[in-house]
Amino acid sequence: MSELATPGPPKRRRGPEHLLTHRLARWVDSRLGTAKLARTALNKVFPDHWSFMLGELGLYCFIVLVLTGVYLTFFFSPSLNTVIYQGSYGPLRGVEMSEAYRSALELSFDVRAGLVMRQIHHWAALLFLASLGVHLARVFFTGAFRRPRELNWIIGCTLLILAMLNGLFGYSLLDDQLSGTGLRIVYSITLSVPLVGTWLASLLFGGEFPGPDIISRLYVIHILLVPAVITILLTAHLAILVRQKHTHFPGPGRRDDNVVGERMWPTYAAKALGLFFLTSALLAFLGGVFQINPIWIYGPFDPAEVSAASQPDWYMGWLDGALRIMPGWEIRAFGFEIPNPFFPGVLLAGLTFTLLYAWPFLEARVTRDHAEHHLLDRPRQRPVRTALGMATIAFYTVLFLGGAADVLGATFGLSVNAILWTFRFLCLLAPPVVGVVTYKLCKEMSARDGVPTASRVTVREIPRRLRHGEERDEAERESPALRS
């Protein structure tokens, strides 16, 4: 710093300090003190395990979503004005359609690199949700949500909901036959909320379905509001991760009061950068080679028409399946009614996410384990949690398959009614069966490992000593059975 501040006689030697990057770094450092901060960052320790990359995958998908999405906004026009298509896709020439649908067609056929960008965007959304789902499962089954990480669990659940909604809003913008059908279902579910449903639906859609304003509103929500909130929450998610440091799996030298892994710089950072490029490469390949959401086949939205086998994107499949599996019940009393879609569309979805948010607190209350945990569980060590998790996955898998009942029926030549009846029973039967089998398997596997499961060991983790920075007792620290 002092060298730059006090210019001395010019040196002959061209050492590294004369490189532009070096001088620039010095310039910045002298104003912000970045070297000190950066050194801490470079030495940040990241435990290494393949499952810790799942959330990272989601982050990279989000970056690809933003990049491709910005490109798409340059060409898409969210307007419901009626126009006559005159573009280069022959079969639809002369057809009356909305400005939104036309601009989506033009984006696909007449804008160079438009189709590949649109398809990468859609594939990235599918993979984004998949990464979030698997990341959530990893965090759940390894107990990474326990104290002190409940906050990040809550942020993560919110990110999942936002991602799902924004995916739905995104493919609803194009005003093709499939997306219009999806919006119709969104409208009806909104309408089904007791007391306020009619008002909610009218305010959201700007009137009765199809509503004059819904596309332009969803556009602002899809490209501005939700991405902004996701970015803020994502930043908080990562900041909390840095503050609390990463969890790690049990192993030699790994304790609840340390974190063992690679330094961020250079290996971890390089691998993460490599993973970002490889994720983007996969998405580019999928977007180039595998057709996704071919809106020109669906045609423009006509409220009086619907195509058979209307399916949402995969992450909404469980909700669509729930709508199908639900028996035809409605509650009517005193001239008021609770419409059928309320139960699967509002109640089930509400319960799902309430339970998800509440899980860390429920578990802590039931197990009376309020201690800090930085060592992860192996799923088999927690048979009850693992069994409940697997039962839940079984339930939503049945719902998801229920969403494909008509496709399954057509593919296997079965009666759709028989399939739906099967799923109605399965969504009640599969969770307990899967839960019990998982429980037994966990017990069996941990018995084979010779590691006692949580139900036989009272886990009292390090709390007080560590929290108050007292000296740690070496013997006590190594005693709990889980560490073996």
Nearer CB in complex with other proteins: 87/211: 211
Cis peptide before 148 (omega within 30 of 0): yes
Q: Minimal distance in Å, beta carbon 20 to other proteins?
A: 23
DSSP state of 371: S
**CB of 448 vs other proteins, minimal distance in Å:** 27
Which residue(s) pair with 84 in the sheet?
96
Which CB atom, from 115 or from 229, has the smaller least distance to other proteins? Answer: 115
Nearer to other proteins, 20 or 289 (CB): 289
Cβ count within 10 A of residue 194: 12
The first and second tokens of residue 199, run together, are: 């008002």
Q: How far is CA 81 from CA 99, 100, 174, 178, in A?
A: 5, 8, 13, 19
In whole angstroms, give the CA distance from residue 158 to residue 399: 22
Q: Cis ω on the peptide bond leading into residue 210 (within 30° of 0)? A: yes
Q: Which two tokens stand for residue 140?
A: 């759940």
Q: Which is nearer to other proteins, 26 or 465 (CB)?
A: 465
Closer Cβ to other proteins, 214 or 393, answer by number: 214
- Least Å distance, CB 443 to other proteins, is 31
Strands 96-98 and 331-333: unpaired
Q: How far is the C-alpha of 121 from the C-alpha of 68, rounded, in Å?
A: 6
How near is the Cβ of 16 to other proteins at its closest, in Å? 20
207 vs 350 by CB, closer to other proteins = 207
Question: Nearest distance from residue 206's CB to other proteins, in Å?
Answer: 5
CB of 23 to other proteins, least distance (A): 26
The minimum distance between CB 39 and other proteins, in angstroms, equals 9
| Choice between 320 and 363, CB closer to other proteins | 320
Contact status, residue 159 vs residue 82, Cβ threshold 8 Å: no
**Euclidean distance between CA atoms 142 and 78, whole angstroms:** 43
